[in-house]
Amino acid sequence: VFTTQWSQWWAYSGISGPEFWGNINPEWYICNRGKHQSPISIDPSQLLFDPNLKPFKIDKHKHITGHLINNGRFLTIAIDVSTIANYINISGGPLAYYYRASNILIYFSKEVDQHGSEHRITGMNFSAEIQILGYNSELYDNATYSMNASNGNVGIALLLSVTDTPNHNLSPIIDALDNVMFKGRPLNVTIRMPLGALIPPTMDYMTYEGSFTHPNCFETVTWIIPNKPLYIGKEQFKAFQKLYDGEPGNVRLPLYNNARPTTPLNNRPIRTNIRLKSEVRRRMRVG
Look at strands 75-79 and 99-108 and give their pairing. Answer: antiparallel
Query: Closest by alpha carbon to 78, among 175, 191, 1, 244?
Result: 191
Measured distance CA(286)–CA(272) in Å, rounded: 19
Q: 110: which residues sit within 8 A by CB, 6+ positions away?
A: 241, 254, 256, 257
Distances (CA, A) of 143 to 65, 136, 137, 286: 17, 8, 9, 36
Query: Closest by alpha carbon to 98, among 57, 65, 61?
Result: 57
SS3 at position 46: helix
Distances (CA, A) of 127 to 84, 102, 133: 34, 24, 20
Query: Closest by alpha carbon to 199, among 176, 170, 173?
Result: 170
Measured distance CA(53)–CA(175) in Å, rounded: 37
Measured distance CA(85)–CA(83) in Å, rounded: 5
Measured distance CA(8)–CA(24) in Å, rounded: 11
Query: One of 99, 140, 208, 231 is an active-site residue; which one?
Result: 140
Whether 140 is a known active-site residue: answer: yes
Active site (catalytic) residues: 140
